[in-house]
Amino acid sequence: MSFAATPALAEPVADACRYVPHVADVPSAPRAIRGQLRATLSMRHAGERDVDIAWEVVGPVDAPLLIVAGGISAHRHAIASHDFPENGWWQNQSGSGLDARRFRLLSIDWLGADGSLDVAIDSADQADAIAAVLDALGVAKAAAFIGSSYGAMVGLQFAARHPQRVRRLVAISGAHRAHPYASAWRALQRQAVALGQLQCDEGQGLALARQLAMLSYRTPNEFAERFDAAPQLVHGRARVAAQDYLEHCAATWVARTSPTAFLRLSESIDLHRVDPREVRVPTTVVAIVEDRLVPLDDLFALAEGLPRGEIRVLRSKYGHDAFLTEPREIADILGKSLEDVCGDVA
Amino acid sequence: MSFAATPALAEPVADACRYVPHVADVPSAPRAIRGQLRATLSMRHAGERDVDIAWEVVGPVDAPLLIVAGGISAHRHAIASHDFPENGWWQNQSGSGLDARRFRLLSIDWLGADGSLDVAIDSADQADAIAAVLDALGVAKAAAFIGSSYGAMVGLQFAARHPQRVRRLVAISGAHRAHPYASAWRALQRQAVALGQLQCDEGQGLALARQLAMLSYRTPNEFAERFDAAPQLVHGRARVAAQDYLEHCAATWVARTSPTAFLRLSESIDLHRVDPREVRVPTTVVAIVEDRLVPLDDLFALAEGLPRGEIRVLRSKYGHDAFLTEPREIADILGKSLEDVCGDVA
């Protein structure tokens, strides 16, 4: 196993369609490094594989380490730094919920995110990839794993498989298994991509898949507020009020997404299963009442099944996307969850 | 304007994927006739058009007439009869909620249902088509309009535009306007059809659209009960538990559906708007708490806006499809709603 810091790559600007940018109030911007690690993983469905794992670490070398993981579209660049000043995918937590002065933040690009790994990928494989990066960085034990959406699923796997490597887990809007209705919804997104691929027009299939995903991330209440206008007839066809928004956002996403990566990471959510009883790390489950993708009942079932679990319930018209769009509430939960892991790990 | 009874046509068997067949307990099967009417309509978006309207009437000639209308996939064959013995799309209401011994039931094939009318169609046009059939049948005033889903939207238009032609309206799971989130969901279904058409594979696009629609008709709770199994890897790709069911149902539907018809009727739902204050006919609104397509709040807003409205609220794990899958509860509501329209109209 080897790793090496790589030069700064151009990172996409955070997607304004899903994220509410919120420039961090960081008096002195933290320093960051990036690296790429080649590791051999025993993948759950794909057997032994040599994989490349791209990582980024932000914050002081001697600070307690937080593993930070988001949805399948997230990546190693969680927040802006002196070295990589572009906004990250969780920029609005920078300096509040994710304080890179007190903590070192580690994120990876998901296995499969570059489209080069066209095999079934499991959340367990992602957890093992993160453990391999901890090895490479010489970190015996992380202070906490903060995971949202798919990142919460990976966090649960990490805690179950590597309980000695992390003190605490915060699992936001991700459960021990995918809900069957949400799985069906994602299967149809994958069908849309396949339909586009049939005609060598991957872009249109991907764009449709992304728009379907966006509906699952948001809520009717938000749409009722934003897209109340009557449909227009354009060239004799009805165009409804949300279409401009959905298509614009999908186009931004399509430009930076490989169909193979989307298919394999989407599928990975559905393959995910963890027995809550196996997650022995103290865990805060965060649930959003309005989440249409990860129902409240499933997160209560998770919290109740955890040996050392607690649950925090929020309301948000943004549903599943609340972790990206409700920065204060999320920062408050992260602050409380990290109170007791800070001092004794540093 | 002319109309003529046509010979019996082969009707598709009711779709087992959405409907729970329930053979009617009718001691002597009612008689039925079918006809086709050519009428000139002033269509809201498409101007003056000559259209053909296919209708069916079941029950005694001298009984009070009920107009019966369902979703965009429904048609003129609501229940089985001596003359047309195949199950209809609302077969499980035959003999209970829809008693063809006490009432005459009139249904039409929606304008555009045969795919030959490739223009924007409004719910107001459907209402006018039904009024034209009443004219042709010599019926001055119907006892009631019983509409579900799109049929409820058309019923609201009918009551607003032709208040002198109906004594009472029962509007099940359909509001005065489409919800913006539901409209976005349908717009993506239409995109799926367009994507299929681009590659000259209309079947796959339609099948994807239908599966997306089915998700909107049902609920996570039902899927959790029925499709709890873990996904399988088939040829290295995850296949989730609901996919067999969704694909089977879509194939059945695709075989009898024209892409143009689907596109124009789906769009028609989004174009629909009625001011509740204009609906002066006594109206019973029926809402399902779990409906993901027509939110409870919208149906309360409708009922509260109606000059003579009341609301009945049901719970059902079948969500929007409850009108098809909860025969007892629906029959009970229809029975109560029809009590006072029976005697004085016959």
**pLDDT, tens digit, 9 for 90 and up, residues B198-220:** 877 899 999 999 999 999 999 99
Task: Count other C-beta atoms under 10 Å from residue B157's C-beta.
Answer: 27
Chain center to CA of B259: 18
Whether B234 contacts chain A with CB within 8 A: no
Those of residues 18-47 in A touching chain B at CB distance below 8 A are 45
Interface check B246 vs A, CB under 8 A: yes
Q: Is B242 on the interface with A (CB under 8 A)?
A: yes
pLDDT of residue A17: 54
Domain ranges of chain B: 2-179+272-342, 180-268
Pick the CATH number of B2-179+272-342 from 3.40.50.1100, 3.40.50.300, 3.40.50.1820, 3.40.50.1110: 3.40.50.1820
Reading the block at residue B289, the tokens are 């708490």
**Do the beta carbons of residue A181 and residue B220 sit within 8 Å?**
yes
Task: Go through chain A and tell me how many residues it has.
Answer: 346
Q: Residue B144 region, left (φ>0) first, then alpha (ψ -120 to 50), else beta?
A: beta
Cβ–Cβ contact A237 with B under 8 A: yes
Predicted confidence at residue A13, as pLDDT, reads 36
When pLDDT is averaged across residues B208-237 and rounded to a whole number, the result is: 96
Instruction: Show the beta-strand stretches assigned E in chain A.
Output: 2-5, 32-43, 47-58, 65-69, 104-108, 144-148, 169-172, 232-234, 237-239, 283-288, 309-314
Q: Which A residues in the span 272-291 are in contact with B, Cβ-Cβ below 8 Å?
A: 273
pLDDT at position A28 is 73
Per DSSP, A80 falls in state -
Which residue of B212, B270, B293 to mutate against A (max A Cβ within 10 Å)?
A: B212
Tokens 């509260």 sit on residue: B304
Residues in a beta bridge with A287:
A313
| Strand arrangement, sheet containing B104-108 | B2-5, B32-43, B47-58, B104-108, B65-69, B144-148, B169-172, B283-288, B309-314
Q: Which of A291, A316, A321, A337 is catalytic?
A: A291
Task: Name the CATH code of domain A2-179+274-342 (choices 3.40.50.1820, 3.40.1780.10, 1.20.120.530, 3.30.70.100).
Answer: 3.40.50.1820
- Are the beta carbons of B246 and A184 separated by less than 8 Å? yes
Nearest by CB: B180 against A238, A241, A263: A241
All residue ranges of chain A with pLDDT < 70 are: 1-27, 342-346
Q: What is the pLDDT of residue B3?
A: 39
**Is residue B254 predicted with pLDDT exceeding 60?**
yes
At residue B28, the pLDDT reads 73
Asked if pLDDT for residue B261 goes beyond 80, the answer is yes
Q: Among this protein's residues, is A320 annotated catalytic?
A: yes
**What is the ipTM for the molecules in this complex?**
0.90
How far lies B105's CA from each of B57, B242, B321, in Å?
5, 36, 21
pLDDT at B19 over 90: no
Sequence-separated (6 or more) residues with CB below 8 Å from residue A273: A176, A177, B230
Which pLDDT score is estimated for B200?
78
Question: Residue A64: what are its φ and ψ, rounded to 5°?
Answer: -60, 145
CB contact under 8 A, B187 and A45: no
Q: Name residues whose C-beta falls within 8 Å of residue A37's C-beta, 6 or more positions apart in sequence.
A: A1, A2, A3, A52, A53, A54, A55, A132, A133, A136
What average pLDDT does this structure show over B316-331? 97
DSSP 8-state symbol, B327: H
Q: Is the pLDDT of residue B344 over 50?
A: no
**How many angstroms away from the CA of A310 is the closest CA of chain B?**
24
> Where are the extended beta strands (E) located within chain B?
2-5, 32-43, 47-58, 65-69, 104-108, 144-148, 169-172, 232-234, 237-239, 283-288, 309-314
What average pLDDT does the structure give for chain B? 92
Token pair for A57 = 């670490």
Confidence of residue B27 (pLDDT cuts 50, 70, 90): low
Which alpha helices (H) appear in B218-258, and where do they start and end?
A: 220-226, 243-254
Per-residue pLDDT of B60-99, as tens digits, reads: 999 999 999 999 999 999 999 999 999 999 999 999 999 9
- Whether B128 is a known active-site residue: answer no
B320 is catalytic: yes
CA distance A179 to A181: 6
A203 → chain B, closest CA residue: B195
pLDDT score recorded for residue A198: 85
Mutation for testing the B interface, residue in A122, A206, A212 having most B CBs under 10 Å: A212
pLDDT of residue A201: 77
Interface of B with A in 162-201 (CB under 8 A): 179-188, 191-192, 195-196, 198-199, 201
What is the CATH number assigned to the segment(s) A180-268? Answer: 1.10.1740.110
Return d(Cα A133, Cα A305) in angstroms, integer: 29
Six-digit token string for A290: 């309005």
DSSP assignment, residue B62? T
Residues 6+ apart with CB under 8 A from B90: B19, B68, B70, B74, B78, B79, B98, B148, B324
Between A204, A242, A271, which is nearest B195 by CB? A204
